[in-house]
Structure 1
Amino acid sequence: MKASILVRAEWDSDAEVWVATSDDVPGLITEAETPEALERKLLVMIPELLELNDDLLNEFPPEVPVFIASQHVTKVRLRA
């Protein structure tokens, strides 16, 4: 039984949105303008996607922690 779900969230500077994917939830890909909005979407999408696959849904307990690992790269100028 899987004890948690890992979601990767990366900032897309071209589209100016956070993009989330997960190997633990096949088919999960979504985007939002803020991390908070992304989390709200994930709370709906993850159960829906897992319910589409009963075999996968049974790999998780009724309530499971979701870890959202975010990455936002920026630049800082060190010299003029």
Structure 2
Amino acid sequence: MEYIIKINWDNEAGVWIATSDDIRGLVLESGSIDALMERVRYAVPDLLQENNQIPHNQTTLHFCAEKSERMYA
């Protein structure tokens, strides 16, 4: 099974936030994108089990990160 994990930068809070339309309840944040991805890897199996979405074979996580910045010239 494949799941898309959206990672966005929250400029006001200064953290990366991970969410997913595929995994109910997935909302995590961290100041480091690498640390956030690691947290997601640990949280997903528990969330899938809680949501009765237990995969029958391997699980693939697609991380899609986005960060926007304003620049003034």
Global fold match (TM > 0.5): yes
Same amino acid, percent of matched pairs: 26
Q: Does 1:63 align with 2:58?
A: yes
Cα pair 2:18 2:27 within 8 Å, conserved: yes
User: How much does 1:64 deviate?
Assistant: 1.4
- The number of equivalent residue pairs is 73
What corresponds to 2:10 in structure 1?
Answer: 12
The answer to which structure has the higher strand fraction is 2
Q: Does 1:72 align with 2:67?
A: yes
What corresponds to 1:49 in structure 2?
Answer: 47
Structure 1 residue identity aligned to 2:41 = L
Distance 1:64 1:19 in 2: 21
User: How much does 1:10 deviate?
Assistant: 0.7
Which runs of 5 or more structure 1 residues have no equivalent in the other structure? Answer: none
- CA RMSD of superposed structures (Å): 1.2
SS in 2 for 1:67: strand
Q: TM-score, normalised by structure 2?
A: 0.89
Please list the CA deviations of residues 37-80 of structure 1 after superposition, one character each: whole Å capped at 9, or x if unmatched. Answer: 001100111011011133x21xx3432110111110012233xx
